Structures are given as structure tokens and as C-alpha cells.
Amino acid sequence: MKHLNIWVKGKVQGVFFRKSAQEMAYSLQISGFVQNEKDGSVYIEAEGMDEDLDEFIEWCNEGPDKAEVTEVKVSKGAFRNFEDFEINYR
């Protein structure tokens, strides 16, 4: 199990990116959260098995149908043992 911090840039707000990310995370048994950022990007913290996280990152590079992803940055973080995958609204 590992923890990743993921930043997704492009046309990723207003296209159901967060809800789609949550659904993909559930299907891959990934825990964590997703939230919109003020700069128009999406920020995700995700925890799971290596191969599941790899598939999730691959999905993040595409996103849902109406998204136009231009950049995905990933860094490792400290494991936080999330119990669910939530959408944070701020």
C-alpha cells in the first residue's frame, strides 16, 4: 500500500471529474479524496496497491468524457490510512 498526491490540470472542473474519480477509485479499491482547487485544477490524495494506483493515474490522464487533461503530476506522500474515497467540497 502506498499514498500518492495527484494534481490534474486542464479542463477538469465542471465536467464531473470528481464524481468520476470517486467511482473509479471505488472500482479499484482506492481510498482518499478528491477536490477542486481555486486555480481550476483538481487535487487528489489516493491510497492503494501499486497496480491499482497505476491504473488510477492512467485514468486521471484521460478523466471523464468532457475533461481535457493537459497535465498530471504525481508525488509520493505519507500513508494516512483513509477508510473511504470522498469528494471534498470547499
d(CA 18, CA 82): 17
CATH of the domain at 15: 3.30.70.100
Q: Tens digit of pLDDT per residue, the chain (90 long)?
A: 999 999 999 999 999 999 999 999 999 999 999 999 999 999 999 999 999 999 999 999 999 999 999 999 999 999 999 999 999 997
Going along the chain, which residue ranges are E strands?
2-11, 31-36, 42-48, 68-77, 85-88
User: Into how many domains does the chain fold?
Assistant: 1
* pTM of the predicted model as reported, rounded to 2 decimal places: 0.97
| Catalytic residue (one of 5, 36, 80, 90) | 36
Catalytic residue among 18, 80, 81, 88: 18
Note down the domain range covering 14. 2-88
- Is residue 36 part of the annotated active site? The answer reads yes
**Is 90 assigned a catalytic role?**
no
